Chains A and B, each alone.
Chain A
Amino acid sequence: MTGSEARSGTTDAGDTRPSVNQREEAARIVAGGLEAVSAAGSLEELRSLQTELVGKRSALAGLGRTLGGLEPEARRVLGAELQDARARLEEAIGARLSGLEQSERAAALESDRLDLTEVMGDSSRGHLHLLTQTRDELEDVFIGMGYRVAEGPEVEDDWHNFEALNLPAAHPARGMWDTLYLDQGDTESILLRTHTSPVQIRVMETQAPPIYIIAPGRVFRRDTPDARHLSTFHQIEGLVIDRGITLGDLAGTIESFTSAYFGPGMHSRLRPSYFPFTEPSGEFEVTCPICAGGGCRTCTGTGWIELGGCGMVHPNVLGAVGLDPEEWSGFAFGFGIDRCAQVRHQVPDMRVFLDNDLRLLTQF
């Protein structure tokens, strides 16, 4: 712009040109102004400079007011020059303003700096017990398969815990459960349930089939705790009573559960076993979750982990609750919640759960 003005200055007529003084004054103002703007050290200083340089009372404005006395052509030329001078100053002020704002913000931010790694205090989150989390997850798998959750008392009578489950008094198989009894005069009539199976009886006594339930809960055995067993522990029981239920249904249900809970690629297998309340009876194993079936110490190299017992509900059990075994059939299965947690989380010794040690409980 300066260049073009210089060129036009050399070609235009003398009387139409602004006086040299006015033009020098404008150039002086611009030069001095630019210098002052670049020297402004604070926003405050810059704002007063702004008033001084481009405000209504500025020298530039004063020059502008002299335009009226000029010839139209000279007025046009000087007006353009003044406009240009004003624009240059305003541009410089604007640039300086944003520079100053940035550095002031930078300074403010710097003084506000926080080392996020020097923050004190740990997580204040609480924790559900690992066994609760395991139980909830197991429940959710079966709820997804259409089951309801049934519960029963932890202290039971002989009928529900044994007799109705096809375990009459002095049945040798009662030795499979070391039982704790309540001292109530009558010997061995009231006991701490040794398994969650009595819930099966209670459900069948009160609810007509079809029945699809699971029964999680605490059970008790008169056993000395070791690395794999506690004398108080938790089981989850499943019971299905419907028309036409088969051993194939049992095997398929356990397989579905296995891959839902332990993950895809995890499988189950059944082998014959014995429980008085089921016939045929079986034990089920699942792919070892530690080695995914490859064989490791946990599964003693077999690739399989024994999880629980299962079978087709014995006709005597159906008879004990008044169901006709020719009309209804069903299956039941049960396994340890604690054992599930132990296997999945590789807990070396169950007895750590007895301490309620926060160092353990807060890991999950």
Chain B
Amino acid sequence: MRTPLSWLRDFAPIDADVERLTELLNELGLVVDGVSRVGEGLGGVVVARVEEIQAIEGADRIRAVVVDVGGTPTHVVCGAWNFAVGDLVPLATVGTVLPGADFAIARRKMRGVESNGMLCSGAELGLSADHGGILVLPEGLETGAALTEAIGLAPDVVFDLDITPNRPDAMSVAGVARDLAGAMRIPFAVPDRPAPALRADGPGAPPAGAGRETAGDRDPVTGARVATEDASLCPLFTARIVEGLTVGTSPAWLTTRLTLAGMRPINSVVDASNYVMLELGQPTHPYDLDLLAGPALVARAAREGEVLRTLDGVERVLGLGEHPDCVITDGDDRVVGIGGVMGGQSSEISEGTTRVLVEAAYFAPMAVARTSKRLGLRSEASARFERGTDPDIAALCADRVAALAAGSGGGANLGAGLSTGHAPPHSRIYLRTARLNALLGTDLGDAVVHGHLERIGFGVSVSSPGEAEVEVPGWRPDVSAEVDLVEEVARHHGYARVARTVPTTTQVGLLSSYQRGRRHLRQVMAGAGLVEAWTPTLLGPDDHGLVGRGEEAKGLSLTNPMSREESELRRTMMPGLLRAVRFNVGHRNENIRLFEVGKVFAPPPAGRGLPEEGEQLAAVLAGPGDDATAAVRLWRTLADGLRLQDPGVRSATPPGLHPTRSGELVAGTAVVGVIGEVDPAVAAAFDLEGRLGWLQVDLEALAAADRLPTAVADVSSYPSSDVDLAFVVDESVPAAEVESTLRRAAGELLIGLRLFDVFRDQALLGAGRRSLAWRLRFCALDHTLTDGELAAVRQTCVDAVQSAHPAVLRG
């Protein structure tokens, strides 16, 4: 919300420097996003009338323009196309340094055509953010006059405020001024009549109340009437007729304010409507009365399938939602507007309009919000109505728009003020000072609390000390409970003035064992030399297909994804990690070994509801020499780091992994993950070459797996002895099976078991067999093992392996 300081001063005698005002606004929660100083440095800018526009040969972006500057024709070259011969435009004369520029406008030649100055946009003049075209000035200004004088622009300050959605009142200049005046403890008042400080040719005294005393739902003179058929959608409907007006450009003071507030002037009627909306917060809608079939406006619920072409030219179909849409119809029950959202094209104000019916209604906020959302149609009006306008000022605003439109059009007659329905009653809230202090941690007295509220328009009736009934003004629909009043008091007392304390708890702060385990797991991975990545949770359907996980993902895809590539919840981290590897390969980064800990998803059990989600660790090894064996070593490091009991690898063919070089991970009897190499076809699909080790562990399964006993295992002080055993074993038997036979047979004396040699030699060992050699280390806790003991345990081991497996001891 762009708020000029001069406009704020219409409502309160604000006298403070810009820094202090910025601070005050911020402390009120009307956060200042930016402050611009306008109207300074425009001394060299004059009003010019466009006399002639010529194409320049060989140039299709710029044109030669001749402007009249108080009798002197001036030639300029201009790149904007939004003006026509006869328009008044601002000309920065040669030598002018525009606001924010660090150079003076110079005489120069473009495409051989001389340019003696520059036609300016609102942005170039520092008046608005609009740089879409030249600022076309209102009619009636004297050419050659200094722009600032002609449009009544005194040096001013515009605050760009970020208004939170709970504050419809602060979406108007009056609302901002009211809050500011309360904080500054200065008087605030809405002037009875438009009383802009800048008026030179402002509107004459409008007959503001004229006809209002006879107000009903029907104008006795014109026969125009208003009605609301659905009070739940439109509780209050007011309107005012203006006849005999001429639609033209608005007076300069008005267009200047609109421009400073960030709106483009359109015509005198639309500008009047916009002006009042910015000033007081009430959106109004002007209809061309002659384009309505019958001088009536009726608010009712849309019937299913009713159609309206709105002002933006789009055909809207109404009455299709779960909740009713409020429409405005004319005397023939034809839809001419969507209540609180946008009017229709058929009754739009045009240059030929002479009779206007100004609508100013109070629409139910939720109804406007639903309709606006369903239609995907947001407007300045809907933004205000859905947050809640002040129903008490609807009629006043209809009058004010009518007066402003009539005043600028000249010679108009105002009809009676029409009104039907009722403004909702003001809510009354019980406020306890003790409760307020208990929530804020303050010690404020009744008088202080009530003073803060009264200064911003709340009515306070004290029932007994410490208790009051507070009447909420119509412009604060957001205040509906005691705690809302507490916030109002806190805002005006100042958050910064609340003494700071820290609550204490007897709870001991710590991580859960799962959370500790997860941190530990990450540290083990980093300790093993891997780098942690964070890849996207959202993938494309193709990604899952590429890694062999293209199964149906019912309940995991999005209705409104940003793109197809981000339209499904990931079921595996493989695509994300492979893409990360690819990026690093592409940038010639080395030693690419990545891991990620994150959520993966499975379809909800019944195909709907919350998907199943679990945390996984995934690691991809793409460094020099990395392959499935590197992944197995990483698994051993992880199992050791986490002190897993009986970790192992079992044969399996998980999706996406190399069919003959992968398996699943077990801890005890539980399967906790998969391991191996990425399927070469999958790697190729991600534009990767060579072997890629892959490790993937389910964190919940891992957390549940048994750990080694916490009690320390005794270490013997007696010497140990090694026994090497080599077996020729069929390829069909995994080494791990022989190893576990050895472990069982070796019994308690075994303190170490390590596979140290594997070799294949068809001539020596025969086809389909390989030699596996283990070193077994034995030790007793209470004595040095004798040769006899060692020989016995060796024989037990050999016998066990040879009887359990197709394996033979090598001599």
Residues of chain A touching chain B, judged by Cβ–Cβ distance below 8 Å, are: 122, 124-129, 131-132, 136, 139, 142-149, 151, 153-157, 170-173, 175-176, 180-188, 190, 192, 210, 212, 218, 220, 222, 224, 231-232, 240, 242, 244-249, 251-253, 255-256, 269-274, 279-283, 312, 314-315, 329, 353-359, 361-362
Contacts and interface: CB of A to CB of B under 8 A. Distances in A.
B557 A182 contact: yes
Contacts of A251: 495, 498, 500
Given A176-B165, A329-B438, A126 B555 contact: no
Nearest to A218: B537
A187 B366 contact: no
Contacts of B386: 172
B303 interface: no
Given A156-B610, A256-B502, A280-B491, A182 B559 contact: yes
A323 B35 CA distance: 44
B507 A148 contact: yes
Nearest to A272: B29
Most buried by A among B440, B496, B502, B558: B502
A31 to B, nearest CB: 57
The 4 closest A-B pairs by CB, nearest first: A272-B29, A248-B441, A246-B441, A274-B164
Contacts of B510: 143, 148
Contacts of A156: 610
Given A248-B440, A274-B167, A359-B589, A131 B560 contact: no
B523 to A, nearest CB: 7
Contact of B532 (A129, A144, A357): A129
18 contacts: A124-B591, A143-B511, A146-B505, A146-B509, A148-B510, A148-B512, A157-B610, A172-B365, A175-B165, A184-B608, A190-B555, A192-B558, A218-B537, A247-B490, A248-B440, A274-B29, A279-B486, A280-B491
Contacts of A269: 495-496
A222 B560 contact: yes
A120 B499 CA distance: 59
Given A149-B511, A251-B498, A190 B609 contact: yes
Given A132-B532, A362-B531, A180 B558 contact: yes
Contacts of A314: 483
User: By DSSP majority rule, is chain A's interface helix, strand, loop, or mixed?
Assistant: mixed
Nearest to A359: B589
Contacts of A256: 502
B556 interface: yes
Interface string B496-530: 10111111111111111001000100110111111
B292 to A, nearest CB: 30
Given A182-B556, A190-B609, A231-B562, 6 more contacts: A136-B519, A153-B610, A171-B369, A187-B559, A282-B29, A353-B534
Contacts of B561: 180
Interface in B437-491: 438-442, 481, 483-484, 486-487, 490-491
Interface in B384-411: 386-387
User: By DSSP majority rule, is chain B's interface helix, strand, loop, or mixed?
Assistant: loop
A279 B483 contact: yes
Most buried by B among A139, A182, A218: A182
Nearest to B22: A302
A125 B529 contact: yes
Contacts of B496: 269-270
B370 A170 contact: yes
Contact of B611 (A146, A155, A187, A210): A155
Most buried by B among A129, A131, A270, A280: A280
A349 B695 CA distance: 31
Nearest to A353: B534
Interface string B612-647: 010000000000000000000000000000000000
A174 to B, nearest CB: 8
B583 A253 contact: no
A356 B438 contact: no
A240 B503 contact: yes
B668 interface: no
B587 A124 contact: no
B501 A248 contact: yes
Contacts of A183: 555, 557-559
Interface string B576-598: 00001001100101111110001
B139 interface: no
A251 B442 CA distance: 13
A271 B26 contact: yes
A181 B608 CA distance: 12
Interface residues of B, number: 94
B509 A147 contact: yes
Contacts of B580: 355-356
Contacts of B515: 149, 151
B28 interface: yes
Interface of B: 26-29, 31, 164-167, 323, 365-366, 369-370, 373, 386-387, 438-442, 481, 483-484, 486-487, 490-491, 495-496, 498-512, 515, 519, 522-523, 525-538, 555-562, 566, 569, 580, 583-584, 587, 589-594, 598-599, 601, 604, 607-611, 613
Nearest to A279: B483
Contact of B440 (A142, A231, A247, A356): A247
Contacts of A142: 509
A362 B504 CA distance: 39
Contact of B27 (A155, A190, A271): A271
Nearest to B601: A155
Contacts of B599: 154, 218
Nearest to A180: B558
A127 B562 contact: no
Given A242-B505, A256-B502, A184 B487 contact: no
B324 to A, nearest CB: 13
A206 B477 CA distance: 34
A252 B555 contact: no
Given A126-B527, A143-B509, A155-B611, A280 B562 contact: no
A146 B503 CA distance: 10
Contact of B537 (A131, A148, A154, A181): A154
Contacts of B505: 146, 210, 212, 242
Contacts of A232: 536-538
B487 A279 contact: yes
Contacts of B512: 148-149
Given A232-B538, A244-B438, A273 B164 contact: yes
Given A125-B529, A143-B511, A315-B483, A271 B31 contact: yes
Contacts of A357: 583-584, 587, 589
A272 B502 contact: no
Given A175-B165, A248-B498, A139 B511 contact: yes
B110 to A, nearest CB: 35
Contacts of B583: 355-357
B502 A127 contact: no
A86 to B, nearest CB: 48
B165 A172 contact: yes
A246 B440 contact: yes
B218 to A, nearest CB: 34
A192 B536 CA distance: 13
